[in-house]
Every structure is written in structure tokens, then in C-alpha cells.
Amino acid sequence: MTAPVRACIGLGANLGHPQAALRGAVEALAALPASTLLAVSRFYRTVAWGQVDQPDFINAAVLLETRLEPQALLAHLLDIERAAGRDRSHDTASQRWGPRVLDLDLLLYGNQVIAEPGLRVPHPYLHQRAFALQPLAEIALDAPFPGHGSVAAALRGVDVSGVQALDHA
């Protein structure tokens, strides 16, 4: 384990019961070992990105303080996805941005830049994704975003018109 680091996790779903899936994921993230849940954004309805011929997504973001190493944290995120019913074994390049019962992305890990097999942090598309930046800005506006300054600076560069906060999660 490492010194405590603030990690930002993006959550999304558009199959089954997306809001319930996100609530379950938040509970699972709150129970992670060597970690403390610091903040959870509101839930947002967003139009699909990348592959647009699919249902709208429900997205959110979570801020954790964790002592887990990045690869260990990623392993827990994948376990949470599997427990929610996600099967990545059949994922293909054409399904990269397809429908999801649950998707958890490690968006930021402190101010670190990580390029390892299966893990790139900051998330390589975060600076283009209003559906991830808008909820993240709600809970970590000033978080460092290597290569882009901060979450606030990156948010100014995207169109958030397709991102709608939900009144009730």
C-alpha cells in the first residue's frame, strides 16, 4: 500500500436499471479496503458518446481517498463491474463505447500519469467527455488533471449541453 491518494472514478450505465447499478457501485466503492469515500456527484443523464445508437447513459463520479496502488484499485473496479453483471470477456473494439450494465473508469489518481498495460491515467478520453467531466467537476473541480491543468480547466473545453443533472438518484 501507498500513501493516501485522491482517486476520481467515473461511473456509467445504460442497460437494465442504470440508477440502481450506480447506487450499488457507490456502496461497493465505499466498502473498498484502505479507502474512504469522500464525495459522490449527482447522477446525470447523458447522450451516448462514441457509439450513439444506444440508450442514454446515467453517469456520476466518485472521489476516494485510497492507499490502494492504481493496479489494485483497478482490479477492485473490475470486480465491482463483474458483480453487477458486466462481462468484458466478449468485448471487442466495436463494443468499446457500447451499452453497459456498469462501467467504472479510473479517471485520475492524484496527479500521477500512468501508462501500463490495461491502465492509462488520466483516462485518455477524459478531456473530451462532458459526461465524465461535469459530474467530476461537481466533486473535484480543482483536482489536478495532468496535461490539462485541472478538472475545471478541462471542463471549459467541452460542450456540456447533452449532460442533464437528475433531481433524484
Residue boundaries of the structural domains of the chain: 5-165
With cell 485518455, the residue in question is 124
Q: What is the pTM of this model?
A: 0.89
CATH code for residues 5-165:
3.30.70.560
Sorting pLDDT into bands at 50, 70 and 90, what band is 169? Answer: low
Active site residues: 86, 100, 103, 105
Sorting pLDDT into bands at 50, 70 and 90, what band is 109? Answer: very high
Q: Which residues pair with 6 in a beta bridge?
A: 65
Summarize pLDDT for 72-103 with one digit per residue, the tens: 999 999 999 988 876 665 554 445 556 788 99
pLDDT at 98: 62
**More confidently predicted of 108 and 94:** 108
Over the chain, what is the mean pLDDT? Answer: 89
Q: CB of 44 within 8 A of CB of 164?
A: yes
Summarize pLDDT for 14-32 with one digit per residue, the tens: 999 999 999 999 999 999 9
Pairing state between β 163-165 and 44-46: antiparallel
Cα–Cα distance measured from residue 1 to residue 68, given in angstroms and rounded to the nearest whole number: 5
